[in-house]
């Protein structure tokens, strides 16, 4: 069978299985097995099975459960509420509560490394507060949907970790590469929020405007904000320590993740006094389930990618892209569209495992930097997380703001989707936004 036809049939079958309700991991496995039956080549079974096994046989992947455990530890604590409380009290300006939500999402993302966890932790406090202070429902929910997407970009990022393992790219460089784009999105989201609130204030009567401004300025007092900030400061110090250790090459990502997990346990016990045995048991089980789910999907996704590689799809696709599309930027745009569509159906880590091995030869042949492409792909995963109607952040936000119609949440996500798309364009035009810190690391 022609490799391109085989690829289209395989991906079509995979999407069909997912849309009919099969779990994603099983859909990947079943699509691979069914397509092997179609091709009728029994010799590929061992090759694909060994590939799926060896994809998990990596010392760098030891960092995955550690980072997940670290994020789970912090998620179960009041750290998210403290981050939000501190920022909201330190920004008593019109739109300050919304900007605090973005800042809180960025800070919690740096602790947890998970988009849904960031939405849940910050949104559970942020959405009710903003709605109580008469923020438009679209803006209140959109801020949490968009801000939560930063969880898979700002290090430690599980998606960047998996990309590094799959493509043999330096995880330390990838983590550093995610910092400046993450900060860029924080600034862009904050500017949009400020402009949106100014426009909203202009539609109010003078009395309503004065009341809303007074409510913003009365979010809390500085002392309580500083107390909350003092409680979460050690967690930020831990994140800075992780990045410095990676930057300095003092330890491997796995060693740093293990130390980070242990330090998180100590900090949560010391600061928040969470010593309930059942809480820790639940936390451990959640970490095991999340890790198992990610690794299962990653293994089956790698097997799916191996099947396509075995039948020459990767080499054929690379040749086709290089020959048929004269401009590498046009091809990159097509990849952007492909990952955006896949992001509406598959979790980010599954897309990375499937897409990265398939298109890495093209990236290398065209002279693009694999570290840059990892961040570029991750931003596309962020867009997928918030794209209606299937973006996971939309559903997590809906579970928090049950009184807000899903149509309003989807509409609120659209400006942030546009900002992420603009950011993706900016890092393409100015790749040093991504590569500046990794280049510093190499000097």
pLDDT at 417: 94
What is the pTM (predicted TM-score) of this model?
0.82
Confidence bin at 221 (pLDDT 50/70/90): very low
As a whole number of angstroms, the distance between CA 362 and CA 288 comes to 36
**Burial class of residue 260 in the structure, from the number of CB atoms within 10 Å of its CB (0-12 exposed, 13-18 middle, 19+ buried):** buried
Domain count, the chain: 1
Q: Could you give phi then psi for residue 221, rounded to 5 degrees?
A: -105, 155
* pLDDT digit string, tens, across residues 310-327: 788 767 776 776 676 667
Tokens of 219: 């979010």
Q: What is the dihedral of CA 260, 261, 267, 268, to 10 degrees?
A: 150
Report the number of secondary-structure helices (H) and strands (E) in the chain.
Answer: 22, 0
Confidence bin at 215 (pLDDT 50/70/90): low
Alpha carbon of 177 to those of 75, 124, 305, 399, 427: distances in Å?
25, 30, 26, 32, 11
Higher pLDDT, 10 or 214: 10
Which residue from 436, 433, 435 is spatially nearest to 424, judged by alpha carbons?
433
Tokens 């298109």 belong to residue: 359
Angle at alpha carbon of residue 384, lines to 380 and 385, rounded to 5°: 115
Say yes or no to pLDDT of 65 above 50.
Answer: yes
Element (H, E) at 218: none
Instruction: Please check whether residue 308 is in contact with residue 314, taking contact to mean a CB–CB distance below 8 angstroms.
Output: yes
As a whole number of angstroms, the distance between CA 251 and CA 253 comes to 7
Higher pLDDT, 43 or 353: 353
Interval 364-373 mean pLDDT: 89
Confidence bin at 400 (pLDDT 50/70/90): confident
pLDDT at 192: 93
pLDDT at 94: 66
pLDDT at 186: 93
- Asked if omega into 160 is within 30° of 0 (cis), the reply is no
Say yes or no to pLDDT of 218 above 60.
Answer: no
As a whole number of angstroms, the distance between CA 73 and CA 372 comes to 31
Question: Which structural domain, as residue segments, surrounds residue 345?
Answer: 3-442
Average pLDDT, the chain: 83
Say yes or no to pLDDT of 421 above 50.
Answer: yes
């Amino acid at each position: 069978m022609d490799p391109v036809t085989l690829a289209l049939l395989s991906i079509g079958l995979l999407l069909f299985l997912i849309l009919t309700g099969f779990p994603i991991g099983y859909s990947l496995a079943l699509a691979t097995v069914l397509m092997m039956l179609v091709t009728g080549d029994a010799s590929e079974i061992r090759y694909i099975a060994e590939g799926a096994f060896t994809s998990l046989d990596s010392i760098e992947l030891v960092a995955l459960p550690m980072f997940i455990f670290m994020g789970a530890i912090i998620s179960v604590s009041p750290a998210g509420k403290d981050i939000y409380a501190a920022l909201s009290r330190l920004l008593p300006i019109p739109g300050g509560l919304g900007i605090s939500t973005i800042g809180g999402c960025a800070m919690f993302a740096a602790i947890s490394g998970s988009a849904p966890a960031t939405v849940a932790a910050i949104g559970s406090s942020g959405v009710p507060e903003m709605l109580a202070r008469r923020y438009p429902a679209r803006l209140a929910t959109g801020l949490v949907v968009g801000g939560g997407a930063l969880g898979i970009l700002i290090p430690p990022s599980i998606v960047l970790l998996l990309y590094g393992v799959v493509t043999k790219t330096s995880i330390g460089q990838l983590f550093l590469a995610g910092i400046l784009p993450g900060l860029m999105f924080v600034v862009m989201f904050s500017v949009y929020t400020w402009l949106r609130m100014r426009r909203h204030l202009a539609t109010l009567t003078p009395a309503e405007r004065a009341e809303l401004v007074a409510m913003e300025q009365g979010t809390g007092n500085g002392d309580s904000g500083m107390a909350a900030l003092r409680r979460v400061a050690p967690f930020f110090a831990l994140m800075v320590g992780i990045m410095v250790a990676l930057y300095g090459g003092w330890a491997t990502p796995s060693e740093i993740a293990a130390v980070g997990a242990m330090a998180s346990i100590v900090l949560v016990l010391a600061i928040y006094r969470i010593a309930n045995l059942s809480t820790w048991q639940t936390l451990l089980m959640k970490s095991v389930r999340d890790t198992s789910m990610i690794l299962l999907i990653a293994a089956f996704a790698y097997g799916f990618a191996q099947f396509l590689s075995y039948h020459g799809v990767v080499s054929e696709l690379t040749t086709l892209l290089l020959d048929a599309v004269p401009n590498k930027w046009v091809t990159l745009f097509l990849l952007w569209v492909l990952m955006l569509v896949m992001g509406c159906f598959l979790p980010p880590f599954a897309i990375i495992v499937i897409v990265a091995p398939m298109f890495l030869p093209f990236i290398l042949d065209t002279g693009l930097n694999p570290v840059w492409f990892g961040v570029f792909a991750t931003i596309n995963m962020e867009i997928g997380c918030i794209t209606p109607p299937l973006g996971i952040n939309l559903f997590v936000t809906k579970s928090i703001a049950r009184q807000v119609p899903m149509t309003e949440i989807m509409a609120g996500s659209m400006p942030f989707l546009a900002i992420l798309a603009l950011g993706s364009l900016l890092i393409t035009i100015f790749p040093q936004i991504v590569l500046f810190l990794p280049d510093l690391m190499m000097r």
